[in-house]
Amino acid sequence: MSCLWFPYAQMQTMPLPLKVARAEGVKLCLENGQELIDAISSWWCAIHGYNNKEINAALQEQMQKFSHVMLGGLTHEPAERLAEKLVSKTQGLNHVFFADSGSVGMEVAMKMAVQFWKNNGVEGKYKFAALYKGYHGDTTGVMSIGDPEEGMHHLFKGFLPKQFFINPNLNEMESLFKEHSKEIAAFACEPLLQGAGGFNFYSPEFLKGAIALCKKYNVLFIADEIATGFGRTGTMFACEQAGVQPDIMVLGKALTGGYLGLSATLASTHVYNSFLGESEKAFMHGPTFMGNALACSAALASLEIFERENYLQKIARINEILEEELLNFEARGVKETRVLGACGVIETLSEKDHKGIQEFAAERGVWLRPFLNVVYTMPPYIISEKELRKVCRVMKEFFAPGSTHAQCCNVV
């Protein structure tokens, strides 16, 4: 084993990771010559697949000029154009703060919410409300608003600040706000689709009601669209399906088409204006690599392709195929299947019921990474119908009677 330390892995027992030599289109090409369809878009970010000629060219062009300059006191065209472009895709979110990862983008949103109230002369709002089964990243602040029971929260109990948690239920939310809204700076959620907490879906009605309650009780609303943004739930942003406009929205992952780390925290004019005035009101954050010129150039090229190639239509077709393939699927060990936008999920009764599926799928040319009790696909949007049906077939075959499931169960 190399000296690399891998994520979320018990290094002592982890099976040897598959070594990627190249990647092209939706395929990961391994050193051993094997090719795998990436059914999960490298943790949901590689929406154009790999080695996209247009994004490559945009990066090369930018690299000839400069790769990175600090954004403190300097500015550049890629960052300015990208900020304008993102603003044009939303309604009323007119200000963009860049950072280098989704987690940090969410940290930025939390700090923005706390400082918003302080700048408005409202003291005591230092807590957050969030949803059970939510996930917002791995850094300290955002870990505190991740699921307190099943997430990493419990490991770091005593270290993390205590926050408030509710289910996506408006009565619960109102009861919480009635008692604690004076302490709560913002409510944060992944709109419609909770990803890393187990691929749970909830209704746009909850979002609509939640934003109304936030307004009523003076709590800001933060939409974490890091996973849902850029079409994953069927619309450009999931919030659109509820017709709601958050006070703060965070984007990441697919923002650069999966090429480079970049996040954008967008704020409404109302939030932004509270930072104007005396120098102490300035927003106190500034990552070294914020607005990295290469990342911004990749994001601009990615958005250009997204629009020109009408990705929302491609996503609608992916959705139809996923529904056809997965919705009526029943098998031993399978609790439920569900589909939203370009995300298809097989939920098993327990983690044991999908043990071995990763190796099973890899042997058949598909890259999956199940976790908790879910096996899911979030494919690159360029996936062909044939490739997508193959992904679904392999996911289902594992559970079919007489599959080699039993042999695979010995492999972690």
Ligand X SMILES: Cc1ncc(COP(=O)(O)O)c(C=O)c1O
Residues 143 and 163: their CA atoms lie apart, in Å, by 10
Interaction residues for ligand X, span 266-325 (CB under 6 A): none
Residue 197 CB, shortest distance to ligand X, in Å, is 9
Helix, strand, coil percentages, rounded to 5, for the chain = 40, 20, 45
Residue 247 falls in the annotated catalytic set: no
Contact between residue 340 and residue 320 where contact means Cβ atoms under 8 Å apart: no
Looking at 38, 100, 147, 224, which residue is catalytic? 224
Cβ count within 10 A of residue 332: 11
Residues 45 and 252: their CA atoms lie apart, in Å, by 8
224 part of the interface to ligand X, by CB under 6 A: yes
Q: Give the contact letters, 118-157, x = binds to ligand X (CB under 6 A), - = no.
A: -----------------xxx--------------------
- Return the number of the residue (119 or 265) whose C-beta is nearest ligand X: 265
Residues 105 and 92: their CA atoms lie apart, in Å, by 19
- Return the number of the residue (196 or 295) whose C-beta is nearest ligand X: 196
Chosen residue from 41, 90, 103, 292 binding ligand X by CB under 6 A:
103
Stretch of 96-104, 156-164, 314-322, 363-371 contacting ligand X, by CB under 6 A: 96-104
Residue 361 CB, shortest distance to ligand X, in Å, is 21
- Return the number of the residue (104 or 408) whose C-beta is nearest ligand X: 104
- Return the number of the residue (190 or 353) whose C-beta is nearest ligand X: 190
364: nearest Cα among 388, 343, 395? 395
> Looking at beta carbons, which residue is closest to ligand X?
102
- Return the number of the residue (227 or 296) whose C-beta is nearest ligand X: 227
Angle at 138 between CA 135 and CA 144, to 5 degrees: 65
Looking at 135, 202, 217, 381, which residue is catalytic? 135
Residue 135 falls in the annotated catalytic set: yes
Residue 13 CB, shortest distance to ligand X, in Å, is 24
Which 8-state DSSP code applies to residue 386? H
Residue 8 falls in the annotated catalytic set: yes
Q: Give the contact letters, 231-260, x = binds to ligand X (CB under 6 A), - = no.
A: ---------------------x--------
Q: Are strands 334-340 and 343-348 parallel, antiparallel or unpaired?
A: antiparallel
Binding-residue total with ligand X (CB under 6 A): 14
Stretch of 34-42, 101-109, 311-319, 323-331 contacting ligand X, by CB under 6 A: 101-109
Contacts within 8 Å (CB) and 24+ apart, 396-401: 396/325, 396/326, 396/329, 396/331, 396/346, 397/360, 397/364, 398/354, 398/356, 398/357, 398/360, 398/361, 399/331, 399/332, 399/333, 399/334, 399/346, 399/353, 400/331, 401/331, 401/332
Chosen residue from 226, 296, 298, 303 binding ligand X by CB under 6 A:
226
Residues 112 and 131: their CA atoms lie apart, in Å, by 20
Residue 353 falls in the annotated catalytic set: no
SS3 for 188? Answer: strand
Residue 139 CB, shortest distance to ligand X, in Å, is 7
Residue 192 CB, shortest distance to ligand X, in Å, is 11
Q: Give the contact letters, 179-198, x = binds to ligand X (CB under 6 A), - = no.
A: -----------x----xx--
- Return the number of the residue (147 or 247) whose C-beta is nearest ligand X: 147
SS3 for 129? Answer: strand
Looking at 89, 127, 133, 253, which residue is catalytic? 253
Nearest 10 degrees: Cα torsion 111, 161, 146, 191: -40
Residue 238 CB, shortest distance to ligand X, in Å, is 10
- Return the number of the residue (131 or 303) whose C-beta is nearest ligand X: 131
Cβ count within 10 A of residue 289: 18
- Return the number of the residue (93 or 106) whose C-beta is nearest ligand X: 106
**DSSP result, 31-91:** TTS-EEEETTHHHHT-TT-B--HHHHHHHHHHHHH-S---SSS---HHHHHHHHHHHHTSS
For the annotated catalytic residues, the residue numbers are 8, 135, 224, 253
Residues near ligand X (CB under 6 A) are 101-103, 106, 135-137, 190, 195-196, 224, 226-227, 252
